[in-house]
Structure 1
Amino acid sequence: MPDADQHSHARPKGRGATGNVPNRYHERTTERCDDGWHQEDLPPLRTSLGVDRARSAISWNDSPDIPFDRSVNPYRGCEHGCIYCYARPSHAWLDLSPGLDFESRLFYKPDLPERLREALSAKSYKPAPMAIGSITDAYQPIEREQGLTRQIIEILCESRHPFAVITKSALIERDLDLIGAAAQAGIAQVAVSLTTLQPALARQMEPRAATPIRRLKVIERLAERGIPVRLMVAPIVPVLTDHELETLMRAGREAGASAACYVLLRLPRELSSLFRQWLQEVAPDSFDHVMNRLREAHGDHDYDSEFGHRMTGTGVYADLLAQRFDLACRRLGLQHGIPDLRSDRFDAAALHGQLSLF
């Protein structure tokens, strides 16, 4: 069982979570306590990388809240360390903590490209837009060495399969050649998430992600290549970032985004306690204000998982956010959606040595 107790004192430098909260399957936990003796500092928290064999390449969903029914995710866990990440509770499936384990004990799927080729080649397969990095960022730092995301995009390009990348990493610029060519063929688009323009807050909330200004530069370079870009203002954190909504949208539009969407902070399962610990550490004076506003939008709970509510909330505060977003979209000329990707060009035969589109 993971040590549940790196959490009670100083947060490791460059990490988002304050510690390793127990996951929902643990029957017992341990805690550090001050017994009056001198306590030595914990050693630096290093990132480890393990192998996760892919049983299947494609993850399917039937959620009405998201615009795709399939995705491919080359990594489990994410070194960006965003404290608000809704994917943190997924680490419990590995019997690990959604806290520091999620951002330091990572797993990659070396056989994912092979599994993807098999899935796309199946006679029963019907093409539709594929999301890349819908759970954890496919361009997180370990992608520099592993290169799985580029391999996935190469396969999708070979077969002319439509895809959308979701990221907050500048590493996506490495693959502008592939994504740019695919966008010209109408089969690729990118969503870039932006949470705040406050450097100090960004460093606390998303310690190993690209800076806000760097993400705007990513949008600019994607747009210069003719790649449709959607700005994701996600998540909106009540009190801490909600006042930036229009400013973020204006900055994204000026950088080249053609569409926008937003997501209100959601705190499923263990993420609730993790975020509360972090908030108590970095903004104790705002703690009650943030949580009361969030609970107001989620039916007096930290999170409401009901479809139609979970992404944007309900009530007066949620309605006001929606109105502000719609007004800003109209004023800035931002669309709610990007033009549909083309699925009619898909050609599975190209995966078996025939000529590809590019």
Structure 2
Amino acid sequence: MSFYEIDSKINIIPSKCSDPWFWTSAQINPYRGCQFNCHYCDGKANYYGIPKFGHQIRIKRDVIKTLTRSLHKLGYRKKSDAKQKKLSSFLSKSEILEEREILPKFIISVGGGVTDAYQNIEKEKEITKNIIKTLIEFEFPAFFLTKSTLILRDLDLIGELNDRSYAGVNISVGYSDEKIRRLIEPHSASTLKRFEVLAQFREADIPGGISMMPLAPFIGDSDENIDTLLKWASESKAEHALIAGLTLKPGNRELFFKEFLMKHFPQHVDKYKLIFPENNTYGIPKFDKIKIPNVTAIGHELCKKYNIYPRIKRYIPDGVIKENYLLVEHLYYVHYLLSWVNNKPHSYPASRIIKFACTIDKLEENIRDLSEDKREEFLDGPAFCHQIVDEYLKTKDNKIRKEFE
């Protein structure tokens, strides 16, 4: 294992659409590569361009400086800066108007993409800790996804951020059988220890749940495994559980076969070749030659058993139109039901829902105040999307959700 510093090129630019799983709109990674080096990790794919992913960890220098500069560029100011500015008696008319306006904030994911922000090196470098301190100064919402117990070090800071704005914590779990967990996630904490972490965050009234992904076919996709993890989640007071299967993009696919599957589960190699063919750009599993369980559908039903919501509830920041935000949350949920829970060809083009929802997110007026003609003019989408909107505005629900729930 080697470590070296690289320049931070962080530039926080919010995406046009919030992530349909985590509600995040931007990401900040304090490191590139990850010491946990889990065999399934998507970060190893050629797509991300991180050679020696689990063996060379790049430590980003000047992260705080670049994060601060990015937020300033977007028009955000630290709370201390705003207070100091208000003390000045020399504000121009435009500055006074600016002070009266609320610039809506969005959720930044801290790690969780091509790295774990709480991998072992963080104990020494404390970059993630300083990112949280900076976000507290800006009162900027954040989301954390980790499989590390080190996040407990920052429980008080994350709690302060949640008090001032919003902080959500998801613990990554996937395997209730500790023998299998050690094989597929050899350098991380045990699953039960991770649930202990979640319980402490929930005890502190910090929003949190589990990301049960990726569940590898024939290894982690059994009803028993999913049920056990959700039982433990319930005991830890998880608010939600996100459940999805495995993807294997080029680069990671070859490593997964060579370093994990052939060594520990050779009996599944031929089946995996059918499910994850070569040169599959996005690594999405193919179901035409072999049937595998739909783990999202299984988990969706089991979540009802344990009274756990299968999605993350959307945070509503100041300065946005609440009704529009909640409608977008509803549309995303319908998309989840059609695309993930049912997972089959359907008369409703579910992929169009996200684009349609994003347009609503950008509206500068309450959708309820628009006539049906105006809605059709501003919102480009299939008829069933407009049907969902019409029904939701009348009843806060719609027939499609009821049909596929």
TM value normalised by structure 2: 0.65
Residue equivalent to 1:329: 303
Residue equivalent to 1:52: 6
CA distance in 2, matches of 1:314, 1:181: 46
Asked if structure 2 preserves the Cα contact closer than 8 Å seen for 1:184 and 1:226, the reply is no
- Which letter does structure 1 place at the counterpart of 2:43? A
- Give the aligned CA root-mean-square deviation in angstroms: 2.6
CA distance in 1, matches of 2:216, 2:145: 20
Identity across matched positions, percent: 26
Residue equivalent to 2:228: 247
CA distance in 2, matches of 1:131, 1:159: 15
Residue equivalent to 2:71: 120
CA shift at 1:322, angstroms? 3.1
CA shift at 1:108, angstroms? 0.7
The one of 274, 295, 315 equivalent to 1:341 is 315
- Which letter does structure 1 place at the counterpart of 2:27? S
Asked if structure 1 preserves the Cα contact closer than 8 Å seen for 2:122 and 2:128, the reply is yes
CA shift at 1:62, angstroms? 5.5
CA shift at 1:286, angstroms? 2.9
**1:200-215 correspondence runs (5 A):** 200-215=179-194
CA shift at 1:213, angstroms? 1.2
The one of 118, 122, 130 equivalent to 2:108 is 130
- Which letter does structure 1 place at the counterpart of 2:41? C
CA distance in 2, matches of 1:114, 1:185: 22
Asked if structure 1 preserves the Cα contact closer than 8 Å seen for 2:210 and 2:233, the reply is yes
CA shift at 1:341, angstroms? 2.6
Deviations 1:135-159 (A, max 9, x none): 2100000000010000001111111
Residue equivalent to 1:237: 216
Asked if structure 1 preserves the Cα contact closer than 8 Å seen for 2:250 and 2:278, the reply is no
- Which letter does structure 1 place at the counterpart of 2:9? R
The one of 53, 77, 102 equivalent to 1:102 is 53
Structure-2 change in CA distance of 1:208 and 1:90 (3 Å): same
Deviations 1:127-176 (A, max 9, x none): 20000113210000000001000000111111110100010100000000
- Which letter does structure 2 place at the counterpart of 1:162? P
Higher Cα Rg, which structure: 2
CA shift at 1:303, angstroms? 4.8
SS of the equivalent of 1:52 reads strand
Residue equivalent to 2:240: 259
CA shift at 1:342, angstroms? 4.4
Asked if structure 1 preserves the Cα contact closer than 8 Å seen for 2:3 and 2:57, the reply is yes
CA shift at 1:329, angstroms? 1.4
Q: Which runs of 5+ in 2 are unaligned?
A: 77-103, 321-405
CA shift at 1:181, angstroms? 2.2
Residue equivalent to 2:142: 163
Deviations 1:41-91 (A, max 9, x none): xxxxxx111111012243765676543221100000000010100011259
Deviations 1:14-42 (A, max 9, x none): xxxxxxxxxxxxxxxxxxxxxxxxxxxxx
Q: Which runs of 5+ in 1 are unaligned?
A: 1-46, 347-358
Structure holding more helix per residue: 2
CA distance in 2, matches of 1:74, 1:229: 22
**2:257 equivalent to 1:281:** no
Structure-2 change in CA distance of 1:154 and 1:313 (3 Å): farther
Structure-2 change in CA distance of 1:65 and 1:118 (3 Å): same
CA distance in 1, matches of 2:214, 2:192: 17
Asked if structure 1 preserves the Cα contact closer than 8 Å seen for 2:6 and 2:58, the reply is yes
CA distance in 2, matches of 1:345, 1:72: 23
CA distance in 1, matches of 2:303, 2:280: 27
Residue equivalent to 1:227: 206
- Which letter does structure 2 place at the counterpart of 1:52? I
CA distance in 2, matches of 1:203, 1:185: 38
SS of the equivalent of 1:181 reads helix
**1:23-42 correspondence runs (5 A):** none
Residue equivalent to 1:77: 33
- Which letter does structure 2 place at the counterpart of 1:214? K
CA distance in 1, matches of 2:214, 2:302: 17
Residue equivalent to 1:218: 197
CA shift at 1:204, angstroms? 1.4
**1:190-205 correspondence runs (5 A):** 190-205=169-184
- Which letter does structure 1 place at the counterpart of 2:31? Y
CA distance in 2, matches of 1:110, 1:205: 31
- Which letter does structure 1 place at the counterpart of 2:173? L
Asked if structure 1 preserves the Cα contact closer than 8 Å seen for 2:45 and 2:253, the reply is no
Asked if structure 2 preserves the Cα contact closer than 8 Å seen for 1:161 and 1:343, the reply is no
- Which letter does structure 2 place at the counterpart of 1:149? T
Structure possessing the higher relative contact order (Cα contacts under 8 Å, 6 or more residues apart): 1
**1:292-307 correspondence runs (5 A):** 292=274, 294-295=275-276, 303=280, 305=282
CA distance in 1, matches of 2:268, 2:287: 22
CA shift at 1:211, angstroms? 1.0
SS of the equivalent of 2:217 reads coil
Structure-2 change in CA distance of 1:341 and 1:318 (3 Å): farther
Asked if structure 1 preserves the Cα contact closer than 8 Å seen for 2:12 and 2:71, the reply is no
Deviations 1:178-213 (A, max 9, x none): 112222345111111101011121111111111111
